[in-house]
Structure 1
Amino acid sequence: MTTTSERVAGSRTRQASQRVSQSVFDGSRLRVVLLVDVYDGAQQQFLEAYEQLCNQVASVPGHVSDQLCQSIENPSQWLITSEWESAPPFLAWVNSEEHVRMVEPLHSCVRDTRSLRFHVVRETGGPADGGQGKRRLQSSPRIGDGMIRHALTFTVKPGSEDIVAKILADYASPEPKVDDTTRLCRTSLFMHGNRVVRAIEVRGDLLSALRHVSRQPEVRAVEEAINPHLEQDRDLNDPESARVFFTRAALPAVHHVTADRQDAQAERYALCYPTRPDRGMQLAELLARQDEAAADDPRNPVLRSTIFQRDDVVVRLIDVRGGLDAADPVQALGLADPEQVAELTTLQDDAGASPESAGKSAPLARFLQLARMDLVTDRRSPEA
């Protein structure tokens, strides 16, 4: 039998669809750029912390090389660049607890950081075709829609779900305009059991938007109100505590596809897939491939799909024509093969049916309901 992992791995050589504006799954090399502002007088401390980090990251699977550069104009400004075989191994590392521990020595000497990630599209100075042992480049540039998508996720104490949902639903929306170039466009907030997922869409600069939101009084009040109910303690008045919390809460978008057909009345839903251990990235890639193929099917009601993934947390945000209840469960769930459902998720277990007894007649409608998240609030700025 061909496993899901084999089927997914074999699909990486396909030509990327023009409907996909964002994806980490094309197999091309990744360049990571970290801009660092070091405290005055802490350059030597920073250099020693970097050397320690460099030695540790050298053994991380998928890591190729890195460079440390210091500004010729301002000695407090540094640049770290690293190259990775592809995006998935980098994301697996940067979103891990191992990474949180590795970078801890840097925080006492760094004032600010900014991380940028790029697929390599063209280069000079060496072979870069897709052959065995060659360096792989992104086959063609992505055509985006000007929107940046990101999410945060965290869990609350069991039994506090209704209280938290009310707090998160009742707050006043923050000012959508961040500056002349950045605007908040949409915030969609869902819950699945005691897990909260807040997805945002931004035009402009994501980091500026996140900082803008965190400073809004109405948002600060909500964050303080849910603090007692969080499973992970935090103190937003302590920069280190806040940094660690939001580092762990980050749920990056790994794939986005938009079908040619659109409907202004499409309804937004979120599906949270209970993933088997260490299968999160594999599941996210499979869902991405399925959604990419579905975008070409005019009968498919899913008009937009964004997949968010961190470790074993996989969330799929979809805009559905005609609503989820009327949709084909196979198309809405994004998993048509019962073997894939059983191999990558616990949906089969949660539905009370074994893979052997379910076979090809697996109750996908039941799986869809198990994955479906509860909508708390979905807000758009007037100009979005």
Structure 2
Amino acid sequence: MTTTSERTPEGAPQQAPHGGPQSWARHVPQRISQSVFDGSPLRVVLLVDVHDGAQQQFLEAYEQLCNQVASVPGHVSDQLCQSIENPSQWLITSEWESAPPFLTWVNSEEHVQMVRPLHNCVRDTRSLRFHIVRETGGPAAGGAPEDRRLQSAPRIGDGVIRHALTFTVKPGSERTVAEILAGYTSPEPRVDDTTRLCRTSLFMHGNRVVRAIEVRGDLLAALRHVARQPEVRAVEEAINPYLEQDRDLDDPESARVFFTRAALPAVHHVTTAEPTGRNGTDAADVERHALFYPARPGCGMRLAELLARRDAAAGDPDGPVLRSTVFQRDDVVVRLIDVRGALDARAEAALGVDEPGLADELAALLDTDALGADAPAGSGAAAGLLGRAHMDLITDRSAPDA
């Protein structure tokens, strides 16, 4: 397979567009941790732009959806608001006990079917998700104050939004698809004055493709920018005949359903050390890898949380894993890691099972049959599992001044 790698050292000087302030360059604290697993209540905000004259149709579709979502585990309440300035603009807010039950629902096939009635009357939507950090007044939904586990402190991020897409191709077409994906021309990284594509990494495991992207600014704007680029559209059209799930990019509904099902959200990210580390390792010696963890049916979120918990607890500045991002949808879990040194030098650490008991926990959640590997127990088992879980790198491209 063809492998493309275009990396830029992260500490390089950066210039903002048009000679302005260094809007892309940021000071990043040594330890970054972002996660959906802190147990805090979740507030979801959905901004909706309704077609002119379709307000009543939208209201009826919302009421049907509202009745269905009320029985979803973890759902607390929701509210529908209409703009006093523009009747076509609506706001839906909902509260959930925590992020995991919401993500389980919103990424499910059930949700795809639930929201279909909205598509004919909605011009555009934008979804925002927030952990509740502080609140005034009484607890929501009549719960006792001690039941409200609010986020204890604000998280410190690095200004980068991480997202991934995953889909499968027809068995036997893997080599052809890999060559197509590796040969595309990178789109213009600058989306607008505030949004920029930083990095795109493509991996395959068997017939599964994972495309991970890193963006500064507005993720939705970046995704739309990429979709409009002719070089990207050409690649998408070229792989269409090989997809296991049919799609028609000229049909908005077909494209929407495909990319909804393909979405692989980041549920956890941690940066455990600076790229140089105390042992003087240069950023050029850091390599990006992806590991595929197929979960047993219904265990995807628990497996993702296990990996996130281990990554969050890791604090060795000289450890091999400098950064780790966990992506999860249904029973598909992918861990993207930036590793210093050889990946298999410390297989347990690379897998995220280098603490007592973690290997047994992973074995209980991992569909090892899908990997054709044994559970990680005993001498050499972790190295064997690491080899089975490792995804083939197709291309890894960074923007020149990312």
Unpaired segments ≥5 residues, structure 1? 1-16
2:366 maps to which residue?
345
1:105 alignment counterpart: 117
2:303 is aligned with 1:291: no
Give % identity. Answer: 77
Structure 2: distance between partners of 1:136 and 1:126: 14
* 1:185-224 to 2 correspondences below 5 Å: 185-224=198-237
Deviation at 1:80, TM superposition (A): 0.2
Aligned to 1:42: 54
| Cα deviation, residue 348, structure 1 | 6.8
Match of 1:234, SS?
coil
What SS class does the counterpart of residue 328 from structure 1 fall into? helix
- Superposed displacement of residue 260, structure 1: 2.7
Shift of 1:322: 1.2
Is contact 1:38–1:110 with CA below 8 Å preserved after alignment?
yes
**Cα distance in 1, alignment partners of residues 122 and 400 from structure 2:** 38
Q: Which residue of 2 aligns with 1:252?
A: 265
How many angstroms apart in 2 are the aligned matches of 1:181 and 1:249? 26
CA positional deviation for 1:83 = 0.1
Superposed displacement of residue 338, structure 1: 3.1
Q: Is the 8 A contact 1:20 1:292 kept in 2?
A: no
Equivalent position amino acid for 2:196 in 1: R
- Given the two structures, how large is their TM-score scaled by the length of structure 1? 0.91
Structure 2: any 5+ residue segments left out of the alignment? 1-28, 277-282
Aligned length: 362
1:322 partnered with 2:341: yes
Structure 2 partner of 1:153: 166
Please provide the CA RMSD for this pair. 1.9
Match of 1:116? 128
Selected match of 1:369 from 387, 397, 400: 387
- 1:64-83, aligned counterparts within 5 Å? 64-83=76-95
* Superposed CA offset, 1:17-44 (max 9, x none): 9934320000000000000000000000
Match of 1:25 among 37, 40, 43: 37
Structure 2 Cα separation of the partners of residues 219 and 242 of structure 1 = 14
Q: Deviations over 1:314-365 (max 9, x none)?
A: 000000011313x300000112433123201123774554x6xx75446100
Residues 1:380 and 2:398 aligned together:
yes
Contact 1:306 1:316 in 2 (8 A): yes
Return the letter of the residue paired with 1:332: A
The CA distance in 2 between the partners of 1:24 and 1:63, in whole Å, is 16
Structure 2 residue aligned with 1:53: 65
Q: Report if aligned partners of 2:373, 2:384 keep a CA contact under 8 Å in 1.
A: no
Give the letter aligned to residue 290 of structure 2. Answer: A
Give the drift of 1:131: 7.9
Matched, 1:272 2:285: no
RCO (CA 8 Å, sep 6+): is it higher in 1 or 2? 2
Deviation for aligned residue 1:255: 0.3
* Residues 176, 381 of structure 1: 8 Å contact kept: yes
